[in-house]
Amino acid sequence: MAYKILVLKGDGIGPEVVGEALQVLKTVARQSALELEYKEALAGGASLDAHGTPLHDDVLKAAMDSDAILLGAVGGPKWDNPAAEKRPEQALLALRKNLGLYANLRPVKALKELIAASPLRPEIISGVDLVVVRELTSGIYFGTPSERRVGGAGREAVDTLYYSEAEITRVVKFGFELARQRRKRLASVDKANILASSRLWREIAVEMAAQYKDVAFENVLVDSMAMHLIRRPRDFDVIVTENMFGDILTDEASMLAGSMGLLPSASLGDEINGAGYPIGLYEPIHGSAPDIAGQDKANPLAAILSAAMLLEHSLGMRAEADNIRAAVEAVVREGYRTPDLAAPSAKMVGCKAMGRLVRERLESAEAEG
């Protein structure tokens, strides 16, 4: 049976990095006699230009009908008008919400060879291996009202941070289950000293901790966590948090790995695909980087590692995913670097060459296999 992969390259460097990730996926598929059927569609600014909407209904339908979705990045200065009603980013939000992808996994691992690329000191970041589970379909991103209006005192605006018990429960549970498969530590991040939604979050997390006595559990305030991530990042294993805290903390955490160009993500829900695994949306955590788009300078590793997560989480192919990760590590170990990771002694390569190197390592591993 062929599995259906929807490919949404998006804007900026999206097409370049996803192009390389796709070729890596094709290499692995050939190696493991896996049948994948690809469908490409527009999303974000590219879709706004072509169809006047960031995500066409047909594309949303195709996404719901896929086994997994591989996405590049959306957005760019061309569509940045703050007064515009339609924005590229809405494509992402619509996919997340409509597919019920409430758990966003963002693993952060400091590769030995890249420690020098981080602005942080080596003794702080060596050995970092954590995963942030970010709630992705609720919170202030989706609460209503969210609007601008004119009130008695002039212009005003409001956003709403809403969470229901069910929304908190399912994602915190996801965090506990993931911690069980790892080093059995879970930190739940909130702002319970100020926000009612955080006090509910904390209450539910503490109740659930009683059912996971084997997991070392702690509550951490989000401002403290921002500090701990820089001061003692090795102490964390799984971190679970609400939508916007997770957005902010994962950009911060990406610096622990050296570059945003290295970090993949998976967004999962409860919907099961034809392979018997969750339908997932896989994308690098970096943006569309319009300043370097089309110049063969982008780092495709985050997109390639997102394809590895796709194989693992949506197709149950852990070994094949690990092969991709090993190939990426080998290329990095050999000293190849895209400009975002530049070091004086590095062998500088572009996006295409980096992708080709990863495929070559996969092929030589197969030949040795």
Q: Provide the greatest CA pair distance for the chain.
A: 73
Q: Which of 49, 57, 223, 322 is catalytic?
A: 223
Q: Which of residues 21-60 bind ligand IPM (CB under 6 A)?
A: none
β-sheet with 68-73: strand ranges across: 36-41, 3-10, 68-73, 278-284, 264-272, 103-109, 129-135, 238-241, 185-190, 216-221
- Which residues are bridge partners to 165 per DSSP? none
Residue 248 burial (CB count, 10 A): 14
Catalytic status, residue 214? no
- Is 89 near ligand IPM (CB under 6 A)? yes
Choose, by CB under 6 A, the member of 28, 41, 92, 310 that binds ligand IPM: 92
Nearer of residues 63 and 285 to Mg ion, judged by Cβ:
285
Choose, by CB under 6 A, the member of 247, 312, 320, 340 that binds ligand IPM: 247
Catalytic status, residue 141? yes
Min. distance of Cβ 358 from Mg ion in angstroms? 25
| Matching residue, tokens 């940045």 | 80
Residue ranges in 187-300 assigned as alpha helix (H): 196-209, 222-231, 243-254
Catalytic status, residue 162? no
Catalytic status, residue 251? yes
Choose the contact partner of 92 out of ligand IPM, Mg ion, none; CB within 5 to 8 A by kind.
ligand IPM
Nearer of residues 75 and 233 to ligand IPM, judged by Cβ:
75
180, 215 in Cβ contact below 8 A?
A: yes
DSSP string, 77-139: GGG--TT-S--THHHHHHHHHHTT--EEEEEEE--GGGGGGSSS-HHHHTT-EEEEEEE-SSG
Min. distance of Cβ 222 from ligand IPM in angstroms? 16
**How many residues in the shown chain lie near Mg ion by CB under 5 A?**
1
Nearer of residues 251 and 360 to Mg ion, judged by Cβ:
251
Choose the contact partner of 89 out of ligand IPM, Mg ion, none; CB within 5 to 8 A by kind.
ligand IPM
Q: Which of residues 226-255 bind Mg ion (CB under 5 A)?
A: 247
Q: Which of 3, 102, 141, 212 is catalytic?
A: 141
Catalytic status, residue 247? yes
Q: CA 34 → CA 28, 143, 205, 242, 287, distances in Å?
A: 8, 41, 40, 36, 30
**Chain residues that interact with ligand IPM, rule: CB under 6 A:** 89, 92, 247, 285
Catalytic residues: 141, 191, 223, 247, 251
**Chain residues that interact with Mg ion, rule: CB under 5 A:** 247
